[in-house]
Structure 1
């Protein structure tokens, strides 16, 4: 593939696959350790929530920082910080000082570092590739998480068997160090601190004002919030509920359902790479992606067997890169470079915030409405958001 001739993109892709595989390992180890320490589902849920809070609290100031400092330096610093935070867990465990408070603090700080890392990464990409390669590069970087979805749990299972639970955190620390080494190979001129006459609050306001006053970016933000509210909750908590209560199957089938999702995304990656090379209208790709993203959820209403469910999820996930990649590329092509950190931090905040809300609402709604019915109507509403995007003219970009 042409973009792989760019050594900077190769380094970034490698670092992301490895570190995000480590994130998968961390989630396995964290929640299991909390259950062992507390035997409390409520506390386990609270610890999980600690990973959402930093994006809601710190995304705006994180974006202002990204736009003032060297993006590559920020990414390297955040990787090193997460490396040392993860090492604290096995160290404290072996000296007998591990407790639930420490786990909450480490989880919160690590998520805060992630809140800084991702806007810096997305703002860095236009600095290391040409404009005509943006879509292709984003296809690789944005879908590194899907590769990690397959690699991380498998690696976690092997580590559990051979080295035990506590060294899941050691392995996660190693992945952040490997990511640090990989992105250290990226050659971008260091950006010195920018002396400004404005305060950090004024910088954050400038970013928010740009989003609110720019029709295209404002529409993308609204669509992002709507898409995540409608589909992320059903995708995260709806699938296990569907497998258990609609299909009356067990956790192994749930795992295979998740594997079907990951498999479809792997197929969608080269398709999106081809689309990126052959179109300049990423707005149209985004809207068609939203329409198919929604419509392909609807057949779950009729699914009565696991085979039907797995095929539906596989087909559905093929279209996910059309949404995530086109959205990122469209933003990169449309915004001033000096605002990129702030705009991407707002997008990141919207994604995490609306996902957290969607997960909560889906769980509550599923107490009263069958999960297959939720899939049907959430899919129709998501597809309609794509239709509205055509009405508002996003397809012209």
Structure 2
């Protein structure tokens, strides 16, 4: 069978475009949702989307591995491209009738000016500024120590193997799926800001507890709990942003929020790598990363009372 090697630079370009368009997709999706969903159903709709994403992230690699063992990966990539194209065509059938004049006016404004207006708009709104701050804090102090440090923690602290890591990682994914389903069923529409702050503090305590665990049997239920708290915090916050942002600004605001969250993940990874490189143990890093979460909840609760009063 003829096998053609693909130069690494082609793969790099492909990955860059995939990441770039993925970055455009999420703010566009989140800004479209409040235009086609009733306000009181936003939390439930976001829960369903996040739950579907987690299921896809869990089942996708398994399905891909199965298909690659059956068919050629070139055919698989073409098939995936067709599925993405069909999904994109489906968006064309969504009709948003209101706000058409605003869209036409915004087309004449440069991208840089729109981005600047979005940042100014977000920073001038106390509630949006507080929500942006929460997003930055949670991603900075959780992403690296938890996601990057998890295999190191399983091997170095729990003294586990690859199977143990799969159980712990699977527990985190299961927790996120379960959390999304629970939030969808509850469909919280009141006191979402205060509720998110309490759960951030609870997540900080969960991280602190997880850092002290020594056996796999306790680590799995704790990581499931932390996974459940992740969508339980993010979904109400996203729904609040969609609820309290003007319709003609929501795309820019969601872009800033996504940039603030996704942009800090590599920084969190880098800080965690540096601390591990100078000899600090991962359980110590996890324990210390939980403290800023607890302190920030107190500061946000006092400094931004609008968070706990919103939806009241």
TM-score, with structure 2 as normaliser: 0.89
What is the CA–CA distance in structure 2 between the aligned matches of 1:185 and 1:136, rounded to whole Å?
22
**Which ranges in structure 1 are unaligned for 5 or more consecutive residues?**
1-93
Q: List per-residue Cα deviations over 1:120-140 (Å, max 9, x = no partner).
A: 100001111111111111111
**TM-superposed deviation, 1:169:** 3.2
2:117 pairs, out of 206, 215, 218, with: 206
User: Judging changes above 3 Å, is the alpha-carbon distance between structure 1 residues 187 and 381 closer, same or farther for their aligned structure 2 residues?
Assistant: same
Structure-to-structure mapping, 1:96-135, within 5 angstroms: 96=4, 98-135=6-43
What residue number does 2:262 align with? Answer: 352
Are 2:187 and 1:276 equivalent residues in the alignment?
Answer: yes
What residue number does 2:309 align with? Answer: 396
What is the CA–CA distance in structure 1 between the aligned matches of 2:90 and 2:218, rounded to whole Å?
41
User: Judging changes above 3 Å, is the alpha-carbon distance between structure 1 residues 182 and 298 closer, same or farther for their aligned structure 2 residues?
Assistant: farther
Contact 1:136 / 1:273 at 8 angstroms: preserved in 2?
yes
User: Judging changes above 3 Å, is the alpha-carbon distance between structure 1 residues 174 and 302 closer, same or farther for their aligned structure 2 residues?
Assistant: same
SS at match of 1:248: coil
Structure-to-structure mapping, 1:234-249, within 5 angstroms: 234-249=145-160
Are 2:238 and 1:328 equivalent residues in the alignment?
Answer: yes
What residue number does 2:286 align with? Answer: 375
What residue number does 1:51 align with? Answer: none
User: Judging changes above 3 Å, is the alpha-carbon distance between structure 1 residues 175 and 373 closer, same or farther for their aligned structure 2 residues?
Assistant: farther
What is the CA–CA distance in structure 1 between the aligned matches of 2:163 and 2:82, rounded to whole Å?
29
Higher RCO, Cα 8 Å, sep 6+:
2
What is the CA–CA distance in structure 1 between the aligned matches of 2:171 and 2:72, rounded to whole Å?
28
Contact 1:293 / 1:317 at 8 angstroms: preserved in 2?
no
What residue number does 2:68 align with? Answer: 160
What residue number does 2:132 align with? Answer: 221
**TM-superposed deviation, 1:209:** 0.7
1:230 pairs, out of 122, 141, 144, with: 141
What residue number does 1:49 align with? Answer: none
User: How many residues are matched?
Assistant: 303
What residue number does 1:188 align with? Answer: 96
User: Judging changes above 3 Å, is the alpha-carbon distance between structure 1 residues 170 and 271 closer, same or farther for their aligned structure 2 residues?
Assistant: same
Range that drifts further, 174-183 or 226-235: 174-183
Contact 1:297 / 1:376 at 8 angstroms: preserved in 2?
yes
Structure-to-structure mapping, 1:51-130, within 5 angstroms: 96=4, 98-130=6-38
What is the CA–CA distance in structure 1 between the aligned matches of 2:274 and 2:118, rounded to whole Å?
34
User: Judging changes above 3 Å, is the alpha-carbon distance between structure 1 residues 166 and 251 closer, same or farther for their aligned structure 2 residues?
Assistant: farther
Range that drifts further, 174-183 or 380-389: 174-183
What residue number does 1:43 align with? Answer: none
Structure-to-structure mapping, 1:14-53, within 5 angstroms: none
**TM-superposed deviation, 1:355:** 0.7
**TM-superposed deviation, 1:107:** 0.9
SS at match of 1:280: coil
What is the CA–CA distance in structure 2 between the aligned matches of 1:285 and 1:142, rounded to whole Å?
19
What is the CA–CA distance in structure 1 between the aligned matches of 2:24 and 2:16, rounded to whole Å?
13
**TM-superposed deviation, 1:184:** 4.2
Contact 1:261 / 1:317 at 8 angstroms: preserved in 2?
yes
**TM-superposed deviation, 1:168:** 5.1
What residue number does 2:229 align with? Answer: 319
**TM-superposed deviation, 1:265:** 1.6
What is the CA–CA distance in structure 1 between the aligned matches of 2:295 and 2:67, rounded to whole Å?
44
TM-score, with structure 1 as normaliser: 0.71
Contact 2:50 / 2:180 at 8 angstroms: preserved in 1?
no
C-alpha RMSD over aligned residues: 2.2
What is the CA–CA distance in structure 2 between the aligned matches of 1:353 and 1:105, rounded to whole Å?
20
What is the CA–CA distance in structure 2 between the aligned matches of 1:229 and 1:258, rounded to whole Å?
20
What residue number does 1:305 align with? Answer: 215
